[in-house]
Structure 1
Amino acid sequence: MDDSMGTRDGHASAAADAIAGGDAIANGDANAGGDSVAGGDSIPGEDGQALAAAVQAVLARVDAHASRATSNGSRPGASPSGGAAAPRDAATTDEPTTPAAQQPPTGARERRTATHPAPAPKAISGPATLDALVACFGLSTFERQLVLLAAAAELDPTAAARCAAASGDPTRTYPTFSLALAALDEPHWSALTPVSPLRRWRLTELDDETRLTTSRLRIDERILHFLAGSPYLDARLHGLLRRAQTPQTLPASYGRAADRVAAGWNESRPEAPLRVELVGGDLTTRTDIAATAARRTGLALYVMTSDDVPTDAAERDRLARLWQREAVLLPAALLLEVGEMDREQTAATDAFIDAAAVPLVVSSPDPRPTGRPRGERVTVPGLDDTEQLALWADAFADIPRIQKSHLRSLVAQFQLPPHVIRSAAAAVLRDLPDADTDADTDALDPTELAWRAGLIEARIGLDELGRRIEPEAAWDDLVLADHQSRILREVVAHVRQRATVHQEWGFAATLRRGLGVTALFAGGSGTGKTLAAEVMAKELGLDLFIIDLSQVVSKYIGETEKNLRKVFDAAERGGALLLFDEADALFGKRSEVKDSHDRYANLEVSYLLMRMEAYRGLAILTTNMKKALDPAFMRRIRFVVDFPFPGESERAEIWRRVLPAQAPMKDIDPQRLAQLTVAGGSIRNIALSGAFLAAEEGDRLQMRHMLAAARTEYQKLDRSLTPSEVHGWV
């Protein structure tokens, strides 16, 4: 597809500028639909009167042609040879051009000219919408009048009879190219070609393209309504495009990004015309930035997804032309949201982007790996604490009992875009009772509701990447040595006081890197690593997400980093506690680089360490093989907590805490149960299984039930109970 929309040989950007910079659309809303106009007099306003006058002027030319043909004694609308009317020489006469052998004698021509002088054609004025159409699509004088002639058939009830009279055929009650070539000013045959503006952009259409000069010529309905001052989105684009609303306010950082998008359109280069790549953030944020850029440029913004780009080349070309015409008429820009695509859809999307000759934003979470010129790349910036605080304060302005200190704690924990913060505030307002109700307003803490709303909003996008656990365990549920518990509480303090130390005390400015809180939990299966993470999440009021690294690691080069990036990007919104389980799948001793796979494996480890160190929440890794980890990796972890296999006294304490006080028990001895050499996870399994066996018998929980449950657990572990472990049980 070529880009000749602005002028006959020009660029579509000139067309967009012609409308955006003038008063092309005099009336109406770009979203409004337009009804067909019954007649010229029914079009309101000065533009309506100007359009009606222009229609009458072009019909007067049709009448003049009919009069000339009648006075000549020939059939109007046809050449003397009986074919279609040939183009007239506009510089000499209004009469149809005929072969020299068939011209009347010179004297007769002179007498006729003296008796009926041909008036000099007057330029036909028209409404601003017509002038805009001419400027945008580079229409010639002949093409301009041809559009008016086609519009006359819809707007003037006398047009049918006048066309029939001018054609000399009572059945031909409609405009044709033949009639236009004979009756209108400055005719040229190139207006009939498929690459002419009239047909390329479907300003006019032929009922039968096999009869080029004699087929009925119609004006496209969208163009007719545009001329009448009733612009709207072409119905053929409904379902594919949606109108983006411009946000009332935008943070300063986003506003600067919008300025860069607008500048990218204005400073387009031949290799990447009118195209901007907008990456990062979420779709709503990218749309808000693009919509603001469009408004500042005098454009509307419509949004389309790459999945809706046709893979068939002909359909894609029709869609591209239709949208480019709409972009000029409205005027508007397009945001194309690019997601995960297969190879065929990717090729179709790239072709659609390459063909774009009107303002376009290619929107995606991450930069697209393509060798094609992509134009200006604008990355959605992160909002600093001052901007975040202003957003929270504005959104929660109508919520009582929310102090600035509470808002600071929300800012320290959550990194949410403006629309999500507004959604969280709306959720709090819904949960708070009205002042005139009998509900106990003191029982509902707005600060707690705001925190919970922030957690819920921050979960979006992360639930599908990991397993979320609602933290319920407390410190009393942990059975650990004092030094281990002390380290865990120290980790909690680092997370809780992060804002104070980093921002208020200025450590973020002096240290700059490695500020993320990272920990390694090392120990065998069932020793309490996940339980400890749950306790810490409960203490911090955070969600706990367990990420199975064995599912994240991919054999395909680059896919592991891509999967990890999705996890961290989603978690950044709420600083969730991330527990990377089975870290041994990725963090074994880094080997010497012998081939490309070794090199990329080391890159995967480095990428994860980099993201962990920059993560604003708490990232915990678990491993069963601490000794196998690379020392260089260990140096980059802030805390290392060992979870040793519990001794007999620790196992007895675990048994005491696992067995509920209200459970009916008989002769249950935690000290004897501690003879089983199993970790805490297995102890919980045995206790629960024994309880079910007792409940099934309708009896109290006894040691024999525990023995049966222990045999089942040991069988699962491929172990056998020894006599010393169950001595004195039954």
Structure 2
Amino acid sequence: MSDLSSMPVRAGHLVERLADLADEPLRPALAGLAAALRSEKDAGAAGRLGAALGLTPFQYDLLLLAGLPEEHEAVSRLARLLNSTAEPWFTSATASAVLGLDTAGRGHLRTALDSGTLHRHRLVTGPESVPLPERGLRLPPGVWSVLRGVDTWPAGMHPIGLPVLPGPQLPGLAPALGSTSTSAFATTLAATLAAAEPGRHPGEPRVVVLSGEGRDDREVAALAAATVRAPTVIVPAAELDAERTPAWSAHLLARGAVPVVAGAPSSPPLPAFPGVVVVATGTVTGMPLDDRPAVTVELPRPDLGEAVELWQALLPDLNGAAGELAGLLRIGRIGATRAVRDARAAGDVTVGRIVAQARRRTEVELPAAVRLVHPHASLDRVVLPADQHRLLRSVVDRVRGQARVLLEWGFGEAARHPGGVRMLLSGPPGTGKTLAVEAAAAELGLDLLVVDLAALVSKWLGETEKNIAGVFDAAERSQAVLFFDEADAVFGRRTDSSDAQGRWANLETAYLLARIDRFDGLVALATNLRRGMDDAFVRRLDVILEIDEPDRTSRELLWRRHLPAGAPYAADVDPAALAALYEIPGGLIRNAALAAAFVAAATGRPIDQSALVEAVRDEYRKAGRSFPGAPRTTARGRGGL
């Protein structure tokens, strides 16, 4: 027969031999099929598969016999006639007859099907519950179509298709990353993956782990695919289970492709693959590996300069947008490309629209300790003294102006600023700390992740750090503002480390501080007691906003804000009198106004002063404070709504 590279010719000869076993009605169709196969041009897929696995001519023939029933109905009909179970697959007994095996040859057949290369890679399989002579031989799903030159994937296998990623070119590489900080990395990666070049990967099994902390798995996979000088297929890590791994390996080898696994697999990736396997993931923690040589290449964290270059490449005509977007969205090329594409489809390519589209594309599984808030508050609605309002506005300006100040003006290098903005809000309960953070997030167009610090702390060694890492990973992927309420519970002054419990608490606090330092977005922390905060942490903060209980003027404004104009009011309602007598923060004012409104709705009467006073009395009672009594009756003209 012909050599292994001529798959149609070899298959045609096998069909001729099968015709000898067929009854007269099937022989003309089989003869026609054999002639047609011998006249075809080889697609090369079977030859690539055979060469990669080092298949012998005997093993190659078994491979073709297992796939031929998928070629023509005459072949599958013959297989049913020769199979005792009437299944459309040739048995090993039929293979022995077609290949003319003697007793020694049957021994080779048993070895090939039970322990040889075809068995190890599960390329030719059959039900092991039946005796070997009656075992129907078949290929993994979809492999025969690929061997015949059809680019198809069966159900349950979903290679990841990524968009073309625009951006600066690196020497000798496809569009990938363009900042100076990643150029050296790309050169190192290209050298590491040299074994994956065409003609070199067979017989050189190894695993290359590409780790990009702070980056999406698919973003890292796109970089790997752009760097490998060979065809690549991006494989979802979740699909590399015991059932699908052999099919993935067969499809990859038939295509002559290097696998790039996106995400951290739960077991060693493609363990029998005879070449380079690239694993692209945001973290290498707990990566399962086997005895193959493994090389890890770490991709630098995305920096502000890289983000600016990305947005400049995507939006060259949107003047001034790149720097602002870099401060708001530190996302990868895939997410940025999709956000811009969505904005163009909506016909509104603005900074706000792009940020909104990026938020809609977020696919993040939030830890149990995190609550997602879509803020709608406005900075103008936050009642604060002028100086405090200016500080709150400065936080928004810091986020938007990072690129200009740190990069264009050089303050990042001079001050060694790590990027990101860290804010502390201190003050008594109910003074509007949470509202201020929500307003800042809404002004930036970003979501808010509210963290329950108590739920992060665990008694188990290392579990707290794992929980903290999960929170920051979620914030980085969702590009959200991170808000720690009651931060003094964790960021309080360090404990005496003489006992084990104190030492572990200090280590957990140090880890949390380190993650805050590395976070490139806005982190807001709230505390009721500023004096209880750790000094080392306070030095890391960019803005400290101390919110005191509101004065009389602010309280009156708060009353008017929380008594909407559309509600029905009695003539005696007097916000000025309420503000003068009741020295309570905005949170209690809101609660009292809402409670009085529900009482009015239940009784069918307008909201009056007595209902508001009674609601304030309840708030004093809940707070454990002494109620100062009711205000004097006031005329509507003097202080009413």
TM-score computed with the length of structure 1 as normaliser = 0.66
- Partners of 1:484 and 1:555 in 2: CA distance: 39
Counterpart in 1 of 2:460? 556
TM-aligned CA deviation for residue 420 of structure 1: 1.8
Question: Is 1:284 matched up with 2:218?
Answer: yes
- Partners of 2:100 and 2:489 in 1: CA distance: 77
Counterpart in 1 of 2:334? 419
Question: Is 1:605 matched up with 2:503?
Answer: no
Question: Is 1:192 matched up with 2:107?
Answer: no
1:450–1:142 distance in 2 versus 1, CA, 3 Å? closer
1:192–1:133 distance in 2 versus 1, CA, 3 Å? farther
- One-letter identity of the residue aligned with 1:473: S
C-alpha contact (below 8 Å) 2:450/2:482 kept by paired residues: yes
C-alpha contact (below 8 Å) 1:334/1:359 kept by paired residues: yes
Any stretches of 5+ residues in structure 1 without a counterpart? 1-22, 26-45, 64-125, 165-171, 310-315, 340-345, 433-443
C-alpha contact (below 8 Å) 1:471/1:543 kept by paired residues: no
For residue 8 of structure 2, the aligned residue among 48, 51, 73 is 48
Counterpart in 1 of 2:433? 529
The Cα offsets for residues 384-436 of structure 1, whole Å up to 9 and x where unpaired, read as 55654554355457xxxx5321333223321122222222223323332xxxx
1:110-259 equivalent positions in 2, closer than 5 A: 132=48, 134-140=50-56, 142-143=58-59, 175-177=94-96, 180=99, 187=105, 189-193=107-111, 194-201=114-121, 220=139, 225=144, 229-230=148-149, 235=154, 238-239=155-156, 241-245=157-161, 247-249=163-165, 250-252=175-177, 256=186, 259=190
1:466–1:264 distance in 2 versus 1, CA, 3 Å? farther
C-alpha contact (below 8 Å) 1:324/1:358 kept by paired residues: no
Question: Is 1:488 matched up with 2:392?
Answer: yes
The Cα offsets for residues 82-113 of structure 1, whole Å up to 9 and x where unpaired, read as xxxxxxxxxxxxxxxxxxxxxxxxxxxxxxxx
- One-letter identity of the residue aligned with 1:242: H
C-alpha contact (below 8 Å) 1:226/1:329 kept by paired residues: no
C-alpha contact (below 8 Å) 2:268/2:288 kept by paired residues: no
TM-aligned CA deviation for residue 460 of structure 1: 5.5
The Cα offsets for residues 256-286 of structure 1, whole Å up to 9 and x where unpaired, read as 3863673475799999834535454223313
TM-aligned CA deviation for residue 551 of structure 1: 2.8
Query: What percent identity do the matched residue pairs reach?
Result: 28
Question: Is 1:510 matched up with 2:414?
Answer: yes
- Partners of 1:503 and 1:323 in 2: CA distance: 45
TM-aligned CA deviation for residue 686 of structure 1: 1.0
The Cα offsets for residues 133-190 of structure 1, whole Å up to 9 and x where unpaired, read as 5534434455556667888998898x989xx9xxxxxxx9973537746579x95844
1:613–1:729 distance in 2 versus 1, CA, 3 Å? farther
Any stretches of 5+ residues in structure 2 without a counterpart? 22-40, 83-90, 166-174, 635-641
C-alpha contact (below 8 Å) 2:230/2:257 kept by paired residues: no
1:22-421 equivalent positions in 2, closer than 5 A: 48-49=8-9, 51-52=11-12, 132=48, 134-140=50-56, 142-143=58-59, 175-177=94-96, 180=99, 187=105, 189-193=107-111, 194-201=114-121, 220=139, 225=144, 229-230=148-149, 235=154, 238-239=155-156, 241-245=157-161, 247-249=163-165, 250-252=175-177, 256=186, 259=190, 262-263=193-194, 273-280=206-213, 281-293=215-227, 296-305=229-238, 309=241, 316=242, 319-336=244-261, 349-350=266-267, 357-369=274-286, 372=289, 375-383=294-302, 388-389=307-308, 391-393=310-312, 395-396=314-315, 403-421=318-336
Q: Which has the larger radius of gyration?
A: 1
Counterpart in 2 of 1:474? 379
- Partners of 1:567 and 1:654 in 2: CA distance: 34
TM-aligned CA deviation for residue 704 of structure 1: 0.9
- One-letter identity of the residue aligned with 2:115: V
- Partners of 1:520 and 1:145 in 2: CA distance: 72
- One-letter identity of the residue aligned with 2:378: A
TM-aligned CA deviation for residue 336 of structure 1: 4.6
For residue 708 of structure 1, the aligned residue among 591, 606, 614 is 614
- One-letter identity of the residue aligned with 2:373: R
1:247–1:451 distance in 2 versus 1, CA, 3 Å? closer
Matched residue SS, 1:305: helix
Counterpart in 1 of 2:38? none
Question: Is 1:670 matched up with 2:575?
Answer: yes
Counterpart in 2 of 1:679? 585
- Partners of 1:692 and 1:226 in 2: CA distance: 69
C-alpha contact (below 8 Å) 2:267/2:288 kept by paired residues: no
- Partners of 2:478 and 2:142 in 1: CA distance: 50
The Cα offsets for residues 213-265 of structure 1, whole Å up to 9 and x where unpaired, read as x6588574879947963456675xx31x2123354343235893863673475
1:702–1:420 distance in 2 versus 1, CA, 3 Å? same
1:669–1:382 distance in 2 versus 1, CA, 3 Å? same
C-alpha contact (below 8 Å) 2:45/2:148 kept by paired residues: yes
1:483–1:331 distance in 2 versus 1, CA, 3 Å? same
- Partners of 1:224 and 1:538 in 2: CA distance: 52
- One-letter identity of the residue aligned with 1:289: L
C-alpha contact (below 8 Å) 2:210/2:224 kept by paired residues: no
The Cα offsets for residues 479-529 of structure 1, whole Å up to 9 and x where unpaired, read as 43x443343344444334322221111011122245543222111101222
C-alpha contact (below 8 Å) 1:48/1:228 kept by paired residues: no
TM-score computed with the length of structure 2 as normaliser = 0.74
1:626–1:299 distance in 2 versus 1, CA, 3 Å? closer
The Cα offsets for residues 573-600 of structure 1, whole Å up to 9 and x where unpaired, read as 6764433111122112211213443223
- One-letter identity of the residue aligned with 2:158: R
| Deviates most, 265-274 or 448-457 | 265-274
Counterpart in 2 of 1:717? 623
TM-aligned CA deviation for residue 696 of structure 1: 3.5
Matched residue SS, 1:641: strand
- Partners of 1:424 and 1:412 in 2: CA distance: 16
- Partners of 1:536 and 1:565 in 2: CA distance: 24
Matched residue SS, 2:236: strand
Counterpart in 2 of 1:449? 353
Counterpart in 2 of 1:632? 536
TM-aligned CA deviation for residue 202 of structure 1: 5.5
Counterpart in 2 of 1:567? 471
- One-letter identity of the residue aligned with 1:598: G
C-alpha contact (below 8 Å) 1:244/1:287 kept by paired residues: no
1:148–1:183 distance in 2 versus 1, CA, 3 Å? farther
- Partners of 1:130 and 1:514 in 2: CA distance: 53
CA RMSD of aligned residues (A): 4.6
- Partners of 1:591 and 1:173 in 2: CA distance: 73
